[in-house]
Copies of this chain bind each other. A is one copy, B any other.
Amino acid sequence: MSFRGQTPLGAQQCTEALVAVGDALYVIGGKWKLRIIIALSEGHTRFNELQRRVEGISARVLSNELKDLELNNFVTRTVQTGSPVIVEYKLTDYSDTLQDVLRALQSWGAMHRKTIKERMRQEALATS
């Protein structure tokens, strides 16, 4: 199940990978899903607080995404009646299964940023 590393994938494994990754992207793909999950991993959070944490997201989109995440069992929504009403979102245990994915993405993202920076530095040197 290795991705290259010199040896190409067989057609069969390739299709399998395509399907599995497709499944994954279907649920957690898109611009916001993973960001929201990360933001929620700071602890259970209320709506507006969450909106502040996830930079750039609008209330409508956040609301929709949260519903979706709830449907897919990544998030639970609890309402405490009173005034004001308090609505809290928190991650479920199932969302913990995403740890590897998140870790891999995070470390790749950090690595990639460094690479780009270095690449730009080199180009700057070459031009001067």
* Contact partner, A38, options B17, B35, B104, B115, Cβ 8 Å: B17
The size of the chain A interface, using a CB distance under 8 A, is 55
Instruction: Decide yes or no whether A11 CB sits under 8 A from chain B.
Output: yes
Q: How many copies of the chain does the oligomer comprise?
A: 2
Instruction: Decide yes or no whether A5 CB sits under 8 A from chain B.
Output: yes
Instruction: Decide yes or no whether A61 CB sits under 8 A from chain B.
Output: no
Q: How far is the CB of A96 from chain B (nearest CB, A)?
A: 6
Give residues in A with beta carbon < 8 Å to B: 1-5, 8-11, 14, 16-25, 27, 29, 31, 34-35, 38-39, 41-43, 53-55, 91, 94-113, 115
Known: A20-B107, A23-B112. 7 other contacts (CB 8 A): A3-B99, A9-B41, A17-B38, A20-B109, A25-B31, A98-B108, A100-B108
